[in-house]
A and B are shown apart, each in its own frame.
Chain A
Amino acid sequence: MVWEGDRGASGGAEDDLPIFNAENLQSNVKSIYYSRTFLSIIGGVIAGIWGFTGFTGFIFYFLVMAAASFGLATQAKFSVCTYFDSWNRIFLDGIFGGLMSFVLFWTFAYDIVHIF
């Protein structure tokens, strides 16, 4: 994953109300979205090539998303205030958006490889 776009989103000291630089926050959220989309496409192709069917495929998708969340959390140094405004952004955002792309590329790769 390439991370040039990650910028600190909140400033100020910790005992005040946190202030968020809206532009940076939005850019960070966007980079999360891009990486999730990219990973779901790649994950779909891998799942298709390996021949996952049924639930195994969906479990694989959620595993990939969980690994992505973990990677994002590590990149954000485990402190949510520096880059985002809530934990939900890192863990839950964009998971279901990527699902459709995953299914598309999964079907495509599965068909090309296995039902040729």
Chain B
Amino acid sequence: MAEDLVLDTAIRDWVLVPLSVVMVLIGVLRYFVSKLMRSHQAPDLKVVKEGQVILRARNLRAAAGFIPAKSFRARKIYYTNEENGLLHVPKGQAQNAQAQMFSDPNLAMDMMKKNLSMIIPQTLTFAWVNFFFSGFVAAKIPFPLTHRFRGMLQNGIDLSTVDVSYVSSRSWYFLNLFGLRGLFSLILGEENAMDDTQRMMQMSGFGFDPTKSLGAEKDSIDIIQHDWALPKLEKRAEDVLKKLVK
């Protein structure tokens, strides 16, 4: 059992609060900087066309149940026809487009910028915390953890009898890192909390494999079965009209 340590008020004022405030401000700053630095890349006509074709194919797949079987088949053939179907890409062209994507300098720069804009503030803040705020107990976490965590949470404190709940400022930094994600998503509007990594992968995926996804769409349209979802349409229309007329 541990007695309650009473910690200096100055720790509250000069460690916990400034660290949280600094992290919030850095997050806001990073959001605005990434907005400013987003390089405006002129969209490539071919890529946009392919993207739109994929969207149309997806809509066809999603709404297959609402058009009669014959029109669905007609549309399907239009897309997957071997000679001039929209989704059919001959092998030679496929390689070409992909190689071009990879060597495109803009995309690589964008990804690097996003990576850096996330890693640099984190590293800098961590180094700052380690330098200034090490060697003392910073906070007490309200729930008990096992002794395994002692090494991780109390890294600057060299007393082994202090309860594991008393943690150093490094763990306060990590707690802030994870906990402020929710706060950022509230303050900064949608996402842009720490979902940067997800968005990055999404955007790079769209640029890199338009031709692969064409092939994938073609396969999935080939597979789909036509499921007529409005079998009793005329009967229902009749009921509705009858109710209106009454």
Contact = CB atoms under 8 A, between A and B. Distances in A.
Interface residues of B, number: 30
A72 B230 CA distance: 32
Interface stretch (B1-9, B79-87, B101-109): B1-9
B178 A115 contact: no
A33 to B, nearest CB: 8
A81 to B, nearest CB: 16
Interface residues of A, number: 34
B182 A110 contact: no
B contact face: mostly helix, strand, loop, or mixed = helix
A52 B141 CA distance: 11
Contact of A37 (B141, B142, B185, B229): B185
A contact face: mostly helix, strand, loop, or mixed = helix
Contacts of B139: 107, 111, 115
Contact of A30 (B7, B142, B190): B190
Interface in A58-81: 58
A30 B175 CA distance: 24
A61 B94 CA distance: 52
A18 to B, nearest CB: 10
B119 to A, nearest CB: 20
A87 to B, nearest CB: 23
Interface string B165-202: 00000001001101111110110001000000000000
Interface of B: 4-7, 9, 12, 16, 20, 65, 139-144, 172, 175-176, 178-183, 185-186, 190, 229-230, 236
Interface of A: 13, 16-17, 30, 33-34, 37-38, 40-41, 47-48, 52-55, 57-58, 97-98, 100-108, 110-112, 115-116
